[in-house]
A and B are shown apart, each in its own frame.
Chain A
Amino acid sequence: MPSFARGSIAAALFAVCIVLGCAPSSFAIPAFARKYGLPCSACHEAWPKLNVFGQTFKDNGYQLMNDRDSPIWQNPSYWPVAFRNTPNWHRESVNRVAVDVPAGLAEQKIITHGFDLSGMDVLSGGTLYNNISFLLVPSMENTGEFGLESAWVRFDNLLKSPWVNFKFGKFELDNVISEKRIMNLSNLGGAYQIYHFIPAGDSNAFGQLGDNQLGMEWMGHSKNDRSRLSAALLSSNDGSVNLPNANSYAGFFTASQAFDTGKLGVDRFGAYAMFGQAPTFTLNQLGNPFLAVGNKNFSREGAFGLFYLKKLDFSLFFQHGSDNPYLGLSLASNQPLPAGAQSPTWNGGFVETHYTVNPQLIFIQRDEFIRMSKQALPTLPSSLGDVDAYTFSFRWYPIMFSRAGFAIEPEYSLMRQQGMAPVTGTSLSSSSAFIGFDFDF
């Protein structure tokens, strides 16, 4: 090896050692930590994943219940706002993409890669007063499109009971395994597939557990948060404003119980159900849709668990889903169903494993699967739309001061969807490689 190369490697190693050696042992936090003076690791296994204390804090309406929750205790210069963004490099690969050729359409493997940006979340949350909490998240896509990801007010501990809390506005469904706190950020790995799954040919975009929804929620929990219950009434708009589907509603219900398992940790398991109606067609005026009608039923139900074995933990999630045949076939409900049409049903879930070395280093892997058990038409291939996905990553928080957080996250994700190739109808395979610099302050 040439001496200059050896020198360069030595210099690089030295630089890495300096960076590692100088990295202070640290603790995160944006807005809530600034308010309470707690390290981010108090509420997060490794941010953004909550630990049992953070879940209790959230369920108390972003309150520690230590008499200093009202903003009147804060220095007037305190501003309950944090920002989050992730500059990154990523590589996306899809084995079959439809491309134009002289003979028409053909499939081709497409790989894209380069430096990129995530969108930006402005996270503003806390309390307006004792037992009145709020969250407002103006969110900007990386294209510049702006929207309100969350906007709600919550009345906490009504009747002086932790069992009586009401939330109004646009909010994340009460998923203990929160997709908003997912540890992965790549195009494929940055979402739980089952939280957004729709069978091939289905038009029902309104039963997605992962999307924030508009509505109201009652939530109750025991003082130590071991028992949790919630019920929400939602507009079936998938969070869209101005009542695009004015007269359709959905309900989301969940219950869970945690157990103190001594040295292993606090384990939790629970169940959930989402039942609702969604429109199948629109009434038009001068060619423009103005009211979605023809509601038909859908349902999602399942179970979940969080199991801790000291530093190792598993998040398990299972779902059984079903849509009305009209939704499954994207057919207006004032049209006759084809012969043999039936409700598409499926089962799916994931197992996500974390190994938390310490609050500054966590390894993550996730297996996901979705299997169609019944297609909307019996003539369709039984495996059409089946999904398999795998994600592996780790997050390292080299500098995480008490008022900001920074994580480096390399990640690799794979996904295969059966029968979804656009031209040949064979399986579609995709992969994401990603390294992001995730920071909030």
Chain B
Amino acid sequence: MRKRSITWSLLLSAAVVFAFSAACWAQVTQYDEEQRMNMESHIGKLTGHATAGEPLYRRFCIGCHGPIGDGEGENAQWIDPKPRNFTLGIFKCRSTPTGTLPTDEDLYDTIGRGLVNSNMPRWFPLSDQDRADLIAYVKHFSPRFAKEKPGSVLQIPPEPPVTEERVKAGQEVFRHTECWKCHGVTGRANGPSADTLTDDFNRPIKPFNFHDGTRFKCGETDRDLYRIFMTGLDSTPMPSFADNLKPEEAWDLVMYLRSLQPMNTPEKAIAKKLGLKPINPNAAAQPQTK
């Protein structure tokens, strides 16, 4: 009898402790949520507020990104590539070094621009203020934004003039940095590694096909292209080449990649004039000769 009462006492105590812990955890979560709802975004003279962004998020974004921003909205199952999980605070399109948080302007530009080859449309018909408010609400999902500052913005030197030498040099950069392994020797996304690529969540992912369309994942200008491979696309196999390429080499690569795209560019005219042949992957393994 006494043993049974001790057992019951222990069970009751455990239940009280559990309930108390749960209540504290709930309070902390509630407190965290309230703190995060104070999140702001700053884009130029605009200040966005998470509280104002919430109804906008529920109107426009929740179907794909989900009510808690984890990328598990009701339409997510039908979408490829999958919607971004905001709770991780990891973003592809940044002007900041790999592994760091993007700036508010980066997120603002992404919303306005949309993401090519995905279901993310261009939201630029929304008012500037609405987009700023949405950014604040998107940030509120991840504790990283409360604890960390965005990385320092990549400085992009002025674009040099397009020359034959630079286009040729760009092709050499394409070869020795092994871009071809994923993007293919002609940039058609058919490199030897292309079919094996996965993102950080182990989902298959395709490299960019430079012959398909004029827009890139994170923009469409030469500067955007420069920024993409100098910052990398976080959570994808596309690394940052900031430590591997000098700025002039990066511009050379931009010019070569422009020669691959399906539009009339000065780079394409130069490549045609030079009779530029696709790189030879086997030669790529050979030591360079002077």
Contact = CB atoms under 8 A, between A and B. Distances in A.
29 contacts: A27-B62, A36-B119, A38-B60, A38-B63, A39-B59, A39-B60, A39-B62, A39-B63, A52-B126, A52-B127, A53-B123, A53-B125, A53-B126, A64-B121, A65-B121, A65-B122, A66-B114, A66-B116, A66-B121, A67-B116, A68-B117, A223-B124, A224-B124, A224-B125, A266-B126, A358-B55, A359-B58, A359-B59, A402-B74
A68 B119 contact: yes
Nearest to B64: A37
Interface stretch (A82-90, A111-119, A257-265, A291-299): A257-265
Nearest to B213: A67
A402 B129 contact: no
Contacts, number: 86
Interface string A43-85: 0000000001101100000001111100000000000000000
Given A53-B125, A66-B118, A262-B128, 17 more contacts: A25-B58, A27-B74, A36-B121, A37-B64, A39-B63, A53-B60, A53-B126, A64-B121, A66-B119, A68-B117, A260-B128, A260-B129, A263-B52, A265-B127, A358-B58, A359-B59, A401-B74
Nearest to A41: B59
Nearest to B212: A67
Among B60, B64, B67, B116, find the residue whose CB has the most chain A CB atoms closer than 10 A.
B60
B120 interface: yes
A38 B121 contact: yes
A56 B125 contact: yes
A164 interface: no
A260 B131 CA distance: 12
A172 interface: no
Interface of A: 25, 27, 36-39, 41-42, 52-53, 55-56, 64-68, 223-225, 260-263, 265-266, 358-359, 401-402
A263 B116 CA distance: 29
B201 interface: no
Contacts of A38: 60, 63-64, 75, 119, 121
Main secondary structure of the interface of A (DSSP, over half): loop
Interface string B125-159: 11111000000000000000000000000000000
B79 interface: yes
A157 to B, nearest CB: 14
Contacts of A36: 119, 121
A262 B121 contact: no
Contact of B63 (A42, A52, A65, A225): A42
Among A37, A55, A65, A263, find the residue whose CB has the most chain B CB atoms closer than 10 A.
A37
A358 B60 CA distance: 12
The list of the 7 closest CB pairs from A to B, nearest first, reads A37-B75, A39-B63, A64-B121, A56-B125, A41-B59, A66-B121, A260-B127
Contacts of B124: 223-224
B188 interface: no
Main secondary structure of the interface of B (DSSP, over half): loop
Interface string B50-92: 0010010011101110010000001100110000000000000
Contacts of B168: none
Nearest to B49: A263
A37 B63 contact: yes
Contact of B60 (A41, A64, A402): A41
Contacts of A39: 59-60, 62-63, 75
Nearest to A39: B63
Contacts of A52: 125-127
A67 B125 contact: no
Contacts of B118: 66, 68
A402 B76 CA distance: 11
B215 interface: yes
Interface in B208-236: 213, 215
A402 B63 contact: yes
B28 to A, nearest CB: 25
A70 to B, nearest CB: 12
B88 to A, nearest CB: 21
